[in-house]
Chain A
């Protein structure tokens, strides 16, 4: 077979990166095309409808649901304060009064003559969308958000936790094979994105939080350490909303795996520059991968703008990473792509490739078990 599509993770020194920043509901876009923005700048804002609190007024007042409307002191849309009386029932010529009070401040959403329920809506919840990266607003979407572009380095991770953050890059390990331990982290890591080598230990992550680091980029993490850090086991992973004090971007996978040379060297070359990182990962349907972006503050010329990414297939010479045992985590180059199906030790028949590892050793691997290192 001449061509084979193989998914890969992008690691590139310079490219045009565009991020869409969209509100969860329609609202106001506060920037215009051409504006220069920084990560913390608000680009769009809206109000989410407030929380709802139902009150069964018919039950409280002891009246049939159809009479609730007559007992209401407020009508739909009226503002209310917490503990304010919103409905009243007088009986025995006005001698006995029963009242229903608002449980929250906000407004009256609806009054039902069928169920006797009154829905109270809390105050709107303001939501702001920030720029996340520094760059230029290149497009706006009316009432929805905008697109921000920058020329920068881009590293796509495989798994992460924690949301969007940014900080200056600080490489604290001597090489990509070193395990990131708590001893590597000190006060100088405050507000930084710390770069480790083959694995971030639970101790290192805890220390990073203590020291006020913004994020960690490392090759791997042990499932056990992740559980210890999160306090629970990830099942179907949709991450990113954790508030753990630090965002984590794992570039290779679970376990101790050397960060790809290329990734490590790229981060090393950008030490001191700002990295914008996001640990959000949606495994289901694979929509979201964690990432690190290093804006390079370069002018967006037409050449850069037209830089469409070309996704190539697997070819002899392609740099690859093995993503399953028994060669998990090893990096090499494709040395042959035999077309016929071959029988594996598991007796499965699969299309395979021959890989020559960095150390010179060769192996036959199913094509499904490798990943292109894209650039």
Chain B
């Protein structure tokens, strides 16, 4: 067996967490997220500017010599935990992780530095539900231009550059102004999908699509578990807080054993999710031999836990949980969409079956 992964948080990571949390407390309240979700511009560009310009978070995964912070997936995971807690409507996972990883696989030059600085936002033009290693839709490359239509592209509505796989096996950078991006009505209001139509759009070849897409989707899936952890932890904490305050039958509702047991069970799931998510982040950061396995385990475990946590939060908040003004619906929508993003739990279990030699009949 390979060396044990480091499953703890370092002091630097905790400091990063505190800084991100402070910023989100000041600039990303639930009421604002809900109000923005109903407009034509659901993304919070000001918050993105603070995170990217102000804190340099968009470039965490990019080496310093290419204009980034030279940090690792471990730090990215901590940022995602905090963004998950707030269901923050920013393209961090899609641009700073997935698109960035795709560019890191090839020779993207200044584009990587642009994404790292947050000046431009990138989106990988692969449907959000695709998992690493499975088939994805490509566009036609003909006469030096790209033609076709791609759907389910997360955060494309806010992207400046689209990374588009084509039928010649290449991955192309396409300026968003050269494409038609049509928002789709999305289950997750805070990470909306869009349709991308290319009608003879010029593209710049970045390299082979297959390894870049695979690398990007693997990192996306592995680190998504940390977003799911943050979300699950927040819903549990909020539900516990509410059930201590809410009184019925002359007692705090949280004193009823049927509810205590459900919350204790949920806590246990969150604790296990933390270990699985930390393991995935550490394995991605160190390039460990177990990275594929760690990602599959984390994602197969994380999705059901985050959905369960959000569903329990809604139910245990009673009537108020069913309303639009309470933020639990943001969590539920994000959690359910996350459970499909970068492959379902079932897809990751299927990948695992190959990795640990537990073959299907």
Asked if A pairs with B, the answer is no
User: CB within 8 Å of B: which residues of A?
Assistant: none
User: CB within 8 Å of A: which residues of B?
Assistant: none
